[in-house]
Structure 1
Amino acid sequence: MQIVNFEPRHAQAWKQLNEAWITQLFKIEPKDREVLDHPKAKILDHGGHIFMAEAEAGGEAIGCAALIALPDGGFEVAKMTVSEAARGTGLGRLLMAACIDRARALGAPRLYLETNSSLAPALGLYEAMGFVHLPPRETPYARADVWMELIL
């Protein structure tokens, strides 16, 4: 497995990986559609980053995660998922480490994320990586009921 920067060839996998987990548990919301249909325009062109996990160099995409630039210089970790076949392999930890490493290298003050309390494995990973819970706040996502932050 390897973590690589998003390239145009990843666009379909980016969309499919995220649609798979979201529709399995929730529903696609307008904010999802924006970033899934237009990752370059909505994430990359605004100073964000997308990581893709490949089974092998240039191979099948089996996971992804995005860093969406925030006004304070931090990043929101978003659309992090691993294909069902690759779950339990430590790939989620590798993707989160790539997010943390990139944010630190760019001098970001923090990482922020929104998630759902039913996603126990994800919550466990975030807590293990040092994220702490925040009070509720406004969000464009109906499914978000957990807010977390990692000060870098």
Structure 2
Amino acid sequence: MDEIIEIVEFSEAYTSAFKALNEEWIIKYFKMEEMDRISLNNPQAYILDKGGYIGVALLNGEAVGVCALIPSTRDDFDFELAKMGVSPKAQGKGIGKLLGLHIIDKAKALGCKKLYLESNRILKPALQLYQKLGFTEIVGASSPYQRSDIQMELDLTSQ
């Protein structure tokens, strides 16, 4: 059977998947922080109602990946790429790249000029993906997350 991968817009039906897919990687590598609880327990209020967007990757109809576009509170950025997670059982199928490209396209459609993200250097596959998508490291940005030790940006005006 051929595997069917599609990226769809978040709906209430994916609330538990959004939380579970993010908790899975956060707990594996770090610990849940207050900002995680806020966004994962209420993506509608924290992300969508503020003008954000969440893409959901489906593998044969099952939610196996998620990624959010959150309006940025930083002066130089329009949105933040955040809460990207792909289930370990679906990794290696290019789902992270598809999600990343989808979120970048959505950011452009929303008029975004600069996209921001935060990560951690131990997440090497994620950092490699971000670099392939065109993100470059920036220095000097503060973070509400203890685990964040790298910040990156993507200038969409040059694409």
Q: Could you state the TM-score of these two structures normalised by the residue count of structure 1?
A: 0.96
Q: 1:52-85 CA deviation, whole Å, 9 max, x = no partner?
A: 11113xx210000000012456110001011001
> What CA distance in whole angstroms lies between the structure 2 residues aligned with 1:128 and 1:60?
26
Q: Paired residue for 2:137?
A: 133
Deviating 4+ runs (over 3 angstroms): none
1:103 maps onto 2:133 in alignment? no
Q: Paired residue for 2:96?
A: 92
Matching of residues 28-107 of structure 1 within 5 Å: 28-56=32-60, 59-71=61-73, 74-107=78-111
Which has the higher mean CA deviation after the structures are superposed, 129-138 or 61-70? 129-138
1:4 aligned counterpart, secondary structure: strand
Identity of aligned residues (%): 49
Paired positions, count:
150
The structural deviation recorded for 1:136 is 3.1
CA-atom RMSD in angstroms: 1.0
1:54 aligned counterpart, secondary structure: strand
1:116 maps onto 2:120 in alignment? yes
> What CA distance in whole angstroms lies between the structure 2 residues aligned with 1:129 and 1:145?
19
Q: Could you state the TM-score of these two structures normalised by the residue count of structure 2?
A: 0.92
Q: Paired residue for 1:16?
A: 20
Unmatched 5+ stretches in structure 2:
none
> What CA distance in whole angstroms lies between the structure 2 residues aligned with 1:136 and 1:80?
23
Q: Paired residue for 1:145?
A: 149
